[in-house]
């Protein structure tokens, strides 16, 4: 099977060998993103839009690691991020613990849950569709427990976050750079894993799991590691976002709110590419703003985009641009991917 089950191009591209070339795209992307608030004059509205962009991009990097690298269809990004956020908020509000303790606790919980889901999937040999259904059911269970556990979670109305109130965390400009730092951190981790022995295993098992196992890749361990790291990424963003917003509710982390968007972002940017999540997030955020007057029809646009991508442009924007670039460079040269 090529790519994550026929998604993306068949040939799995290894990251560049030299460190400079491997991390340069991250440096360029972060410099560009760091300059954005200055060019927009630091308006509150654009900054909060920017924060949302960075958050969804970070979620998408995590999804890219779990789905793009190891073909595990996690339909519970929102739930994992939400579990970390609620854990952090509840610990902070109930016991007055500081954020530097509660956020790591939330991240730990998310990592545990993500790793657990991966482990169950691996040990029960779940096919992709069954893992998709299990994680979707997990998402819905999470949302319904939030709604049902009113004393602990505040139910539908959610919770006001005590931690971080009145600090720089709540200022949009500072938060923008905090989330940029988180995104850059995620990208660096993603690339570092790609370049490590683990990343080699990911590429092998993405092509053919049986062959990878025969070649000495510990498939189970690779998948669970991806689940743990991806979930920790989701959790760190979710918990930090809660501290920044000062408010959490079930809709903040609902399937329709997070997972749908992340899927569109990653599919648009390109599954299995380093900067795909960032490019996809930029496009989706801009288009989303432009389409705001359409109201409910925005969902239709997302749906059509998904269908078109999966029908015709499964390689995503990053690869399409890259192959155009290469064709332009080598004139009549063959496409590399």
Residue numbers at the binding site for another protein (CB under 8 A): 1, 4-7, 73, 120, 124, 126-130, 132-134, 136-138, 140-141, 144-145, 147-148, 256, 260, 263, 267, 295-307, 310-311
Nearer to another protein, 42 or 256 (CB): 256
Residue 247 CB, nearest approach to another protein (Å): 22
Nearer to another protein, 147 or 174 (CB): 147
Residue 99 CB, nearest approach to another protein (Å): 30
Residue 232 CB, nearest approach to another protein (Å): 23
Which residues have C-beta within 8 Å of that of residue 130, sequence separation ≥ 6?
A: 121
Nearer to another protein, 182 or 268 (CB): 268
Contact present, 191 and 22 (Cβ < 8 Å): yes
Nearer to another protein, 125 or 331 (CB): 125
Residue 234 CB, nearest approach to another protein (Å): 20
Q: Which phi-psi region, left, alpha or beta, contains residue 126 (left: φ > 0; alpha: ψ -120 to 50)?
A: beta
Of 68, 322, 45, 148, whose CA–CA distance to 77 is shortest?
68
Nearer to another protein, 300 or 320 (CB): 300
- Alpha helices (H) in the chain, listed in sequence order: 19-39, 44-63, 70, 77-95, 99-123, 128-148, 150-153, 172-195, 197-207, 209-214, 219-245, 259-269, 276-290, 297-312, 316-329
Which residues have C-beta within 8 Å of that of residue 103, sequence separation ≥ 6?
A: 84, 88, 236, 239, 240, 243
The total of other beta-carbon atoms located within 10 Å of residue 295's CB is 8
Contact present, 94 and 161 (Cβ < 8 Å): no
Nearer to another protein, 37 or 250 (CB): 250
Taking the CA atoms of residue 168, residue 174, residue 175 and residue 179 in that order, the dihedral angle to the nearest 10 degrees is -130
Residue 116 CB, nearest approach to another protein (Å): 12
Residue 286 CB, nearest approach to another protein (Å): 19
Residue 249 CB, nearest approach to another protein (Å): 15
Nearer to another protein, 71 or 240 (CB): 71
């Amino acid at each position: 099977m090529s790519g994550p089950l026929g998604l993306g191009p068949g040939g799995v591209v290894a990251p560049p060998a030299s460190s400079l070339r491997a991390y340069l795209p991250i440096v360029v992307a972060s410099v560009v993103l760091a300059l954005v608030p200055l060019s927009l004059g630091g308006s509150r509205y654009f900054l909060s839009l920017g924060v949302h962009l960075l958050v969804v991009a970070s979620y998408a990097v995590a999804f890219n690691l779990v789905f793009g690298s190891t073909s595990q269809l996690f339909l519970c990004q929102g739930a994992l991020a939400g579990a970390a956020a609620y854990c952090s908020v509840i610990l902070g509000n109930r016991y007055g613990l500081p954020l530097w303790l509660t956020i790591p606790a939330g991240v730990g919980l998310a990592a545990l849950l993500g790793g657990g889901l991966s482990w169950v999937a691996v040990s029960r040999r779940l096919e992709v569709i069954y893992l998709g259904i299990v994680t979707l059911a997990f998402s819905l269970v999470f949302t319904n427990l939030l709604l049902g556990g009113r004393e602990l979670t505040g139910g539908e109305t959610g919770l006001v976050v005590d931690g971080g109130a009145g600090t720089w965390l709540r200022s949009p400009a500072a938060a923008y750079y905090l989330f940029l730092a988180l995104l850059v951190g995620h990208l660096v981790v993603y690339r570092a894993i790609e370049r490590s022995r683990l990343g080699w295993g990911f590429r092998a098992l993405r092509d053919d799991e049986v062959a990878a196992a025969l070649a000495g890749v510990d498939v189970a361990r690779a998948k669970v590691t991806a689940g743990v790291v991806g979930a920790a990424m989701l959790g760190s963003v979710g918990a930090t976002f809660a501290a920044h917003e000062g408010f959490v509710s079930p809709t903040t982390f609902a399937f329709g709110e997070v997972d749908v968007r992340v899927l569109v972002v990653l599919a648009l940017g390109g599954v299995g590419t380093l900067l795909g999540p960032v490019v996809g997030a930029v496009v989706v955020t801009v288009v989303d703003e432009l389409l705001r007057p359409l109201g409910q029809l925005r969902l239709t646009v997302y749906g059509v985009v998904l269908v078109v991508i999966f029908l015709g442009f499964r390689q995503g924007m990053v690869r399409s641009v890259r192959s155009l670039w290469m064709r332009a460079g080598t004139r009549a040269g063959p496409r590399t991917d």
